[in-house]
Amino acid sequence: MGPAGLLAAAFLLLAPPLARPAAVHFREQFLDGGKWKERWVPSQHRADYGAFRLTAGAFYGDRHLDQGLQTSQDLRFYALSARFQPFSNQGRPFVVQYTVKHEQKIDCGGGYVKIFPTHLDQKNMSGESPYYVMFGPDICGSDTKTVHVILRHRGRFHPIKKPIRCIVDGLTHLYTLVLNPDRSYRVKIDNTVVASGLLEDDWDFLPPRTLNDPAVGKPADWDDRAEMDDPGDAKPEDWDVPEFLVDTSAKKPRHWDDATQGDWRPPLLPNPRYRGEWRPRKIPNPKYKGVWPHPQIRNPDYAPDATLAVYQDLGVLGLDLWQVRSGTIFDNFLITDSESYAEEFGDETWGQTKEAEHRMYREQIEAEAAANRKRKAGRPPKKRKKKPPATRARKEEL
């Protein structure tokens, strides 16, 4: 082997190994028009499921690229699914990603996806169908604006304990769930991490690793009160007054019958001087030591479990939803084993059209506001109604 060959061989030995190409198990962008109906199966479990339609919605960044499945009927359940080649995520990252746009300013409804085992009967899919993963936003009123991450383990469904707030602004957003083989996870919104940690810590899959040591108690002199009553504070002399006072202006009704109605008593009125029960003001406790750290011992019931979020027969992605007000658009579905590829895919899809979508959205809002101002300016001023003379005369008599 000549010098050039030796140099090339040395380079190959020193060069880092080529990165394993991403495995793409499922990808759907709805770029082929109505052919999506050949890949997605509507459930027939109920006769009144809502219908999906293919559209980019009322505003978009690119009319063709931003087409997705939109819920089209109010107050309906929805059930639709697509199958992919079965696989196991054992030993590999498991990444689920898609975009969702609640352009209807949703007040109550789901925007999440479910990943099912391959044996799912798609035509009979319903809310009762067992799934492996449920992930995505769910909105109901002002209280519920959350991102669900529910994982199945040993036949039970476990929701994440950490609260994750979803975005509700009418625009398209990218949601990503990453489950790693080291039992760590990440949740991203718009390619930004909003939650991360370990499966053992943020789900109730397993008993806790440690327990409070029952043989050790808090020391008698440990003061965990952050504040204490001010010993120099005294109750004012005029503090104790009754909560209610007798209405001395009240008179017994003429038709009051003591025999049938009992003794008449004048009504009570709230005492404006009543200030409630007196309590001394609080001051910082100089003996405060903080919360006592209870010594921990190993929990004998705890054992690590390498099967957390490991599924052997992943095979179907489904939309199983309820919506009060329809209009949500789902697009850019991806299931892969590469977080970096998912990030690139998100940048090349959602990332390429988001700015144009934002501009169109703002333009529509500004045009609507201008039209409202024009309508108001064109209306004649409202005339104040005069009261008829008879009404005024009657009022003067009163």
CB atoms within 10 A of CB 341: 17
227, 235 Cβ separation under 8 angstroms? no
- Helix crossing, 350-378 with 339-348: angle to 10°? 40
Q: Look at the block and give the residue holding tokens 């209280």.
A: 143
Nearest in space to 218 (alpha carbons), one of 289, 314, 318: 289
112 is in an annotated binding site: yes
Amino acid found at 233? D
320 is in an annotated binding site: yes
The DSSP code for 204 is -
Q: DSSP letters of 176-197?
A: EEEE-TTSEEEEEETTEEEEEE
138 is in an annotated binding site: yes
**Residue 83: φ, ψ to 5°:** -100, 150
d(CA 3, CA 18): 25
Residue 379 CB-half CA count within 13 A: 9
d(CA 56, CA 193): 27
The 3-state DSSP class for residue 99 equals strand
Beta bridge partners of 181: none
114 is in an annotated binding site: yes
Residues annotated in a binding site for an alpha-D-glucoside: 112, 114, 131, 138, 320
- Which segments are annotated as binding site? 112, 114, 131, 138, 320
